[in-house]
Amino acid sequence: MAHIKGYECTICNSQYEGNDILHTCPKCGQKGILEIIYDYKKIKQSLSKAYLANCMDYTIWRYSSLISVDQPNLVIETIKKAQDGNGLIIRLYESQRGRGPFTLHAGFPIEKAHRTNILEENQETLKVEENQISGNYKPYQIITLRVIPEQRKP
């Protein structure tokens, strides 16, 4: 896959080439889950606003190369347009009784982000830095985020 630079172990931080097909770290065994390191420059070259506007695939897979999260126990369940039309809604859930900080990586510039309730009402403004959103999670928590992409200036 051309948009994958490589993999990084979530335990020992060892990195592996993108052309290797690995699921766990050879050094850490089954507990060493490998996180994908995306090549966002390549993704940007092949995925444009026009492509997304004309794409008839309205499933989560439409945006799969644009969004990732740094914690393997956080599962991205939903990516959809917000009900009120203001940005994207990204819903994640914690699957392994973990807690701590997370960083969501986006392959597009983000103007702002909010944690929302299930009704998509903004509850908390989240820190956004260089296409990344930071927050915290608790065991088995469902996290709903409103991500507002940065508007390009003509």
pLDDT of residue 120: 94
DSSP-based three-state secondary structure for 95? coil
pLDDT in tens, 92-113: 999 999 999 999 998 888 999 9
As a whole number, mean pLDDT of residues 105-128 equals: 92
**154, pLDDT greater than 60:** no
Q: Tell me the pTM.
A: 0.61
